[in-house]
């Protein structure tokens, strides 16, 4: 039988089949058309239009300031590029925590105005009602547990979560709650690998890890971090596959020097 990931368009059902068949899921963020086209073409299964756009695209210190309109703008470009990947968009801070009706309205705007395929939200049992209400409109929902960057001001640090027994038990309960509410997958961010393994075995829906060890059903990284465009963020879990900061800077420095030395453009580059 062909692997589930050979599907022409990845759907939430494909991801669940991948988990059942033990096929790992590759997820990566993207925030614009040009890079999303490369991410999609390279075979990534899920493109997350993460609210990390607030950090890497807008230069904010946290994910808190990004707006629904800005997320829709980023997502629209990604959707135009994605031929195969499932496109999931983060519900930004303040657009779903108030009540489940607001969560539904925000999700409908994302789906209608960007053409995305699913939304993601942070939190456990407290967002269960919102997950259920969003699903009534036929919108698939991805959960996000562990380190939840939108709550940075509550926790005060970006350190590993759920190391203690009580917090680990709460995370297990929240994961079960999100699955029962109808989430099609759950991101586990920065938690001990042993706990992520337990959660992944407990759930029938896939877990996607970031800093959560090798036993999740899939992995996600922030595109700009793994390409080495950002350099000021180096957690242990981050594998840099390129050092684009260096390459981009030296290409641009060469361009500047070619102009200053009148070496660009040449006759061949002129009309």
* Positions marked catalytic: 189
3-class SS letters over 99-139: CHHHHHHHHHHHHHHHCCCEEECCECHHHHHHHHHHHHCCC
By the criterion CB under 6 A, which residues form the site for ligand KIV?
29, 48, 50-52, 90, 187, 189, 210, 220, 222
Closest approach of Cβ 101 to ligand KIV, in Å?
24
Residue 36 or 220: the one with the smaller Cβ distance to ligand KIV is: 220
Q: How long a stretch of residues is the chain?
A: 271
Nearest CA-CA partner of 207 in 125, 150, 158, 145 = 145
Instruction: Select 207 or 269, whichever has its Cβ closest to ligand KIV.
Output: 207
DSSP 268: T
Query: Cα–Cα distances in Å, from 24 out to 184, 250, 255?
Result: 15, 36, 41
Distance, in Å, from the CA atom of 25 to the CA atom of 217, rounded to the nearest integer, reads 6
Of 153 and 271, nearer to ligand KIV (C-beta) is 153
What's the min distance (Å) between Cβ of 49 and ligand KIV?
Answer: 8
CB of 237 to ligand KIV, least distance (A): 10
DSSP state of 93: T
Q: Which is nearer to ligand KIV, 154 or 165 (CB)?
A: 154
Cα 99 from Cα 168, distance rounded (Å): 26
> Taking the complex as a whole, how short is the minimal distance between the CB of residue 235 and ligand KIV, in angstroms?
11
Residue showing the smallest CB distance to ligand KIV in the complex? 50
202 vs 183: CA distance, rounded Å: 14
Nearer to ligand KIV, 147 or 258 (CB): 147
Q: Tell me how far, at minimum, the Cβ of 224 lies from ligand KIV, in Å.
A: 10
DSSP count for the chain of H helices, then E strands:
11, 8
Alpha helices in 203-243 (DSSP H): 223-226
Q: Please tell me the distance from the alpha carbon of residue 114 to that of residue 261, in angstroms, as a whole number.
A: 45
């Amino acid at each position: 039988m062909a692997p589930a990931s050979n599907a022409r368009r990845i759907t939430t059902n494909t991801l669940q089949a991948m988990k059942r068949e033990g096929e790992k899921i590759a997820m990566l963020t993207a925030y614009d058309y040009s890079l999303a086209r490369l991410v999609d073409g390279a075979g990534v299964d899920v493109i997350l239009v993460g609210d990390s756009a607030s950090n890497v695209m807008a230069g904010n210190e946290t994910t808190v300031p990004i707006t629904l309109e800005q997320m829709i703008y980023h997502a629209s470009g990604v959707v135009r590029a994605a031929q195969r990947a499932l496109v999931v968009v983060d519900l930004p801070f303040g657009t779903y925590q108030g009540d489940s009706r607001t969560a539904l309205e925000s999700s409908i705007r994302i789906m209608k105005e960007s053409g995305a395929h699913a939304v993601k939200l942070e939190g456990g049992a407290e967002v269960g009602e919102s997950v259920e209400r969003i699903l009534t409109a036929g919108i698939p929902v991805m959960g996000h547990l562990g380190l939840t960057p939108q709550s940075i001001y509550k926790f005060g640090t970006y350190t590993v979560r759920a190391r203690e027994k009580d917090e680990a038990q709460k995370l297990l309960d929240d994961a079960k709650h999100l699955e029962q509410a109808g989430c099609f997958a759950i991101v586990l961010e920065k938690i001990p690998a042993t706990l992520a393994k337990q959660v992944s075995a407990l759930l029938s829906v896939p877990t996607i890890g970031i800093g959560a060890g090798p036993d999740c059903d899939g992995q996600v990284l922030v595109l700009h971090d793994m390409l080495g465009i950002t350099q000021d963020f180096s957690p242990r879990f981050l594998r840099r596959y390129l050092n684009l900061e260096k390459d981009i800077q030296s290409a641009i420095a060469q361009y500047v020097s070619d102009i200053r030395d009148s070496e660009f453009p040449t006759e061949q580059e002129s009309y």
